């Protein structure tokens, strides 16, 4: 059926012609051609309508994507990991490649004092301080069940994460700390046939923060006048670690390897690929890793079957 007024008028005229044709004895083939003219108009109109509909949906989709990206870029401004890597990667300033030229391994320090560390404190080279946290109570007493008890027994513990601290699930299918602490025992222990898991979060709740800080200290060798954030993050789990990324944080990162071993793969930013190299290194329980994770892409993995637990924060 023709839809608009013009088409209705044409159709009316065609019907008149048809009627007159029938009266004058014209054959069915010719009559079908009249129908085709009318239906052709319908088809064109339908195609036009479909095109308009598709264009409308596409426009709405593009506007939605752009709006989400814009909101994300604002919301992720102080997050440990940006919620939209593409926005961060597209908006970060280009690096001066001198930070990674001729760097093929981390600086390794042993028994370093604050005074000795001062000359390394702000170097862009990755550093491992060996055996720096072996004395932490956390190396013996932190465990999945200890954190589970702490979160289950503290009122408002999970809500504190929703209100200020970030939960990171990396590639794990667990989307909140509550889900992590509700895992079946077999999965918690990464028993055969269970999916490995690896997550991280910040301890924002004041009671929980006060409690966990009894088990570790900010490494003593870090500069006394450095600025430190209000909390530390815990990362624990099996095998999968973090995918390659940059951190969108305001300071340098330190990470204490409390339990288990971890492999770090670091890579320069893409614009320095022609003069710098990616490389990997291995850390053991008791080590502290220091890295400017804003300019070094980094990914981590944990040897199969091992449970890794780290305390991580920033200084600057």
- Judged by beta carbon, residue 84 or residue 293, the one nearer Fe ion is 293
How many residues bind Fe ion (CB under 5 A)? The answer is 2
- Judged by beta carbon, residue 11 or residue 262, the one nearer Fe ion is 262
Binding mask 211-250 for Fe ion (x = CB under 5 A): ------------------------------------x---
Are 213 and 282 within 8 A, CB to CB? no
**Least distance in angstroms from the C-beta of 243 to Fe ion:** 10
Pick out residues in 129-158 that bind Fe ion (CB under 5 A): none
**Least distance in angstroms from the C-beta of 152 to Fe ion:** 28
Closest CA to 179 of 191, 171, 188, 192: 188
Residue with tokens 């004041």: 206
Residue 19's alpha-carbon distances to 2, 24, 35, in angstroms, are 18, 9, 12
**Least distance in angstroms from the C-beta of 156 to Fe ion:** 28
Residue 272 falls in which region: left (phi positive, over 0), alpha (psi -120 to 50) or beta: alpha
**131 Cβ contact partners less than 8 Å away, ≥ 6 residues apart:** 110, 111, 286, 287
User: What is the dihedral sign for C-alpha 271, 277, 280, 286?
Assistant: negative
- Judged by beta carbon, residue 139 or residue 293, the one nearer Fe ion is 293
Stretch that binds Fe ion, among 54-62, 233-241, 292-300, 303-311 (CB under 5 A): 292-300
Helix, strand, coil distribution of the chain in percent, nearest 5: 40, 20, 45
- Judged by beta carbon, residue 160 or residue 293, the one nearer Fe ion is 293
**Least distance in angstroms from the C-beta of 141 to Fe ion:** 26
- Judged by beta carbon, residue 247 or residue 314, the one nearer Fe ion is 247
Does the footprint of Fe ion cover residue 314 (CB under 5 A)?
no
**Least distance in angstroms from the C-beta of 166 to Fe ion:** 12
- Judged by beta carbon, residue 247 or residue 292, the one nearer Fe ion is 247
**Least distance in angstroms from the C-beta of 247 to Fe ion:** 4
User: What is the dihedral sign for C-alpha 271, 276, 279, 283?
Assistant: negative
Q: How far apart are CA 16 and CA 21, in angstroms?
A: 8
Residues lying near Fe ion in the complex (CB under 5 A) are found at 247, 293
């Amino acid at each position: 059926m023709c839809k608009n007024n013009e088409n209705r008028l044409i159709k009316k005229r065609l019907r008149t012609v048809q009627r007159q044709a029938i009266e004058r004895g014209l054959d069915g083939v010719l009559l079908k051609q009249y129908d085709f003219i009318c239906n052709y108009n319908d088809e064109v109109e339908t195609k036009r309508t479909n095109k308009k509909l598709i264009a409308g949906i596409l426009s709405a989709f593009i506007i939605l994507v752009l709006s989400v990206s814009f909101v994300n870029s604002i919301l992720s401004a102080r997050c440990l990991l940006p919620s939209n890597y593409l926005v961060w990667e597209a908006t970060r300033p280009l690096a001066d490649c001198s930070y990674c030229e001729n760097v093929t391994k981390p600086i390794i320090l042993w028994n370093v004092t604050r005074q000795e560390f001062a000359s390394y404190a702000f170097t862009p080279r990755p550093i491992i301080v060996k055996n720096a946290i072996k004395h932490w109570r956390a190396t013996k007493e932190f465990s999945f069940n200890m954190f589970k008890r702490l979160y289950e027994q503290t009122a408002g513990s999970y809500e504190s994460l929703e209100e200020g601290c970030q939960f990171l699930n990396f590639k794990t299918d667990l989307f909140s700390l509550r889900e992590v602490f509700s895992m079946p025992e077999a999965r918690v222990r990464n028993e055969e046939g269970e999916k490995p898991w690896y997550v991280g979060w910040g301890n924002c709740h004041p009671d929980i923060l006060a409690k966990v800080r009894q088990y570790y200290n900010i490494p003593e060798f870090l500069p006394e006048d450095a600025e430190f954030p209000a909390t530390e993050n815990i990362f624990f789990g099996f095998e999968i670690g973090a995918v390659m990324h940059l951190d969108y944080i305001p300071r340098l990162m330190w990470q204490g390897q409390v339990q288990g071993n971890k492999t770090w793969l670091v890579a320069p930013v893409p614009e320095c690929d022609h003069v710098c190299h990616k490389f990997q290194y291995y850390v053991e329980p008791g080590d502290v890793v220091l890295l400017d994770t804003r300019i070094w892409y980094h990914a981590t993995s944990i040897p199969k079957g091992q449970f890794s637990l780290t305390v991580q924060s920033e200084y600057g």
